[in-house]
Amino acid sequence: MLRLGGAVGKTFMIPYNAFHFKTLCTAKKSLAPMSLTLEQVKRIAHLARIEISDDEALTTQGHLNGIFQLIEQMQAVDTTGIEPMAHAQDVSQRLREDAVSEGDRRAAYQAVAPEIEAGLYLVPKVIE
């Protein structure tokens, strides 16, 4: 079962993969109304591994700031003592038997890969 670092007392489900971010939980800060700078847009795009041109960054900045204006309405709400809700039924993660359940379908799965060799996925050289 997964626990979200100290934020709540009770176990609850968190979205797929989002637990990577549990380490990012920090004390609540008060934030100024959101307005992203061009540099921030470029930094987020880099974090998300999406190449972005200066022109695209500018258009994106306008769109994102419009969206954040919408999102800002949330900040006016006092949610002290409200437990975050990650899942509709608040059920905890199911565990299964630690047993092999999948057959070997490597060839079928690799048939759709951009580049493979001898059963391995090929990517640009990572280690010099």
Partner 1 sequence: MINASLKELSLALAAKKVSSVELSSLFLDRIERLNPTLNAFVTVDREKSLVMARDADARIAAGTAGPLTGIPIAQKDIFCAEGWLSTCGSKMLANFVSPYDATVIRKMHAEAGLVSLGKTNMDEFAMGSSNETSFFGSVRNPWDTQRVPGGSSGGSAAAVAARLAPAATGTDTGGSIRQPAALCNLTGLKPTYGVVSRYGMIAFASSLDQGGPMAASAEDCALLLNTMVGFDERDSTSLERPVEDYARDLDKPLDGLRIGLPKEFFGEGCDAEVMAAVRAAIAEYEKLGATCVEVSLPNSHLSVPAYYVIAPAEASSNLSRFDGVRYGYRAPEYGNLDDMYMKTRAQGFGAEVKRRILIGAYVLSHGYYDAYYLQAQRIRRLIANDFVEAFKHCDVIMSPTSPSTAFKLGEKAADPVQMYLSDIYTIAVNLAGLPGMSIPCGFVGGLPVGLQLIGNYFAENRLLNVAHRYQQATDWHQRRPGGIE
- Cα–Cα distance between 36 and 61 in angstroms, integer? 7
- Cα–Cα distance between 58 and 77 in angstroms, integer? 31
DSSP string, 10-75: S-----TTGGGGGGG-------PPP---HHHHHHHHHHTT----HHHHHHHHHHHHHHHHHHGGGG
Q: How far is the CB of 23 from partner 1 (least distance, A)?
A: 9
Residues 18-57 close enough to bind partner 1 by CB under 8 A: 18, 20-21, 24-31, 36, 40-41, 44-52
Regarding 9 and contact with partner 1 (CB under 8 A), the answer is: no
Regarding 83 and contact with partner 1 (CB under 8 A), the answer is: yes
- Cα–Cα distance between 105 and 93 in angstroms, integer? 27
Regarding 126 and contact with partner 1 (CB under 8 A), the answer is: yes
Structure tokens at 103: 């057959």
Regarding 7 and contact with partner 1 (CB under 8 A), the answer is: yes
Choosing from 6, 16, 55, 100, the residue that interacts with partner 1 (CB under 8 A) is: 16
Residues 93-122 close enough to bind partner 1 by CB under 8 A: 93-94, 96, 105, 108-109, 111-115, 121
Q: How far is the CB of 60 from partner 1 (least distance, A)?
A: 7
Where residue 21 falls (left for φ over 0; alpha for ψ -120 to 50; beta otherwise) is alpha
Give the binding site for partner 1 (CB under 8 A). Answer: 7, 13, 15-18, 20-21, 24-31, 36, 40-41, 44-52, 60, 63-64, 66-75, 77, 79, 82-89, 91, 93-94, 96, 105, 108-109, 111-115, 121, 123-126
